[in-house]
Amino acid sequence: MWAELLARIYEKELHVAARSEDKIPYTAKDGVFDDHTFEIDWWTNGFYAGLLWQLYGFRPDPLLSSLASAIEQKLDAGFLHAAGMDHDSGFKWLLTANASRILTGASASQNRLLLAANDLAGRFNLAGGFLRAWNDGGDGSKAGVAIIDCMMNLPLLYLASTLTRDPRYREIAVRHATTAAKHFVREDGSCRHIAVFDPATGEFLREEGGQGMGVGSAWTRGQGWAIYGFTLSYLHTGREEFLAAAERVASFFLTHIPKTGLLPVDFLQPYGCDWEDDSAAAIAACGLLELKRATGNKRYADAAEELLAVLAKERCDLASSRDPLLTHCSAAYHDGQHNFALIYGDYFFVEAILKLLHKETFLW
């Protein structure tokens, strides 16, 4: 089943790539990808290139690599815009520069990775032991803000230590992950989206609701970032406390999946609300498959496969005439729009299927 689905996705994506030249998609309108090039430092601008590279790694086609390389080069403009260089450098450059480094050996790609890693390391708050998430135009209002999504950016730091044989980057990643395990993961295993610290003393001040329903709720994509992100930190460091954090969040996650197998935007959203997030399911599936690799516990792989099977059956658009794959993603609970296409949903869906088939290019 999975090999056949991958073959159909590959065929579709070749058609999509042929008509998507010059685009950096974020979402789609009437089945046609938009182009987010106008905001070159947007956090999702690496995902389409990542998807192209994953498919190229599976079956090389020069169309896939040329489009992905063009996106990587466009992202260079971000290095000249300090206000746009936030903590999402991992999402942006692991899926572009790291992919081309691995698949083509391009030296320019390694250069980009080191520039991005140096910038990310510069966001480390020494007093609080966390990486600052967002910028604030210089008023300091976001200086103490960290978000769970950042766990996915830490592999850029682990990679930088490997590439330079300099432990500084790894140490920063370990310290951020340690702070996150302490202040994001709640007693019941659910995970906060935003933690606010005093940027001068490092004291934990409060949580904020962020892209979930509110304070105390359980934003599904955030749970996915935590499962996958803590597992990645475990795989890079071997530190048991990160594996324990991943398993605690996974345990909460597995007991909250609805009977339909389709994920809401927030596990605590009101009964009857039909807002979904396919991207959360795809991200969590990737994390659960890696957690299975780390622990040997088949339960995680079974849950991942069930999530992916529901997405494949109910939410995957294989028509070559329409650009996106997944149909029901949501960027945030309080946004006006829900149940639409988002490029990172497609990226993680394809990554997860490749993982199942042992055909993934591991970019994290």
Residue number of the CB closest to ligand GLY reads: 149
Give least dist CB 331 to ligand GLY, A.
6
Helices (H), the chain: 2-19, 47-58, 62-74, 89-93, 99-104, 107-121, 154-164, 168-183, 220-237, 240-256, 278-295, 298-310, 343-356
99 or 147: whose CB is closer to ligand GLY? Answer: 147
17 or 133: whose CB is closer to ligand GLY? Answer: 133
44 or 69: whose CB is closer to ligand GLY? Answer: 44
Q: Which residues bind ligand GLY (CB under 6 A)?
A: 43, 149, 211, 221, 331
- The DSSP result for 38-103, as a single string, is TSTT-TTTTHHHHHHHHHHHHS--HHHHHHHHHHHHHGGGGGG-GGG--TTHHHHHIIIIIHHHHH
Give least dist CB 221 to ligand GLY, A.
5
Q: Give the closest residue to 41 by CA, choosing from 13, 87, 7, 77.
A: 77
Q: Give Cα separations from 69 to 58, 72, 94, 173, 180 (angstroms).
A: 17, 5, 13, 28, 33
265 or 301: whose CB is closer to ligand GLY? Answer: 265
The span from the CA of 68 to the CA of 92, in Å, is: 12
331 or 341: whose CB is closer to ligand GLY? Answer: 331
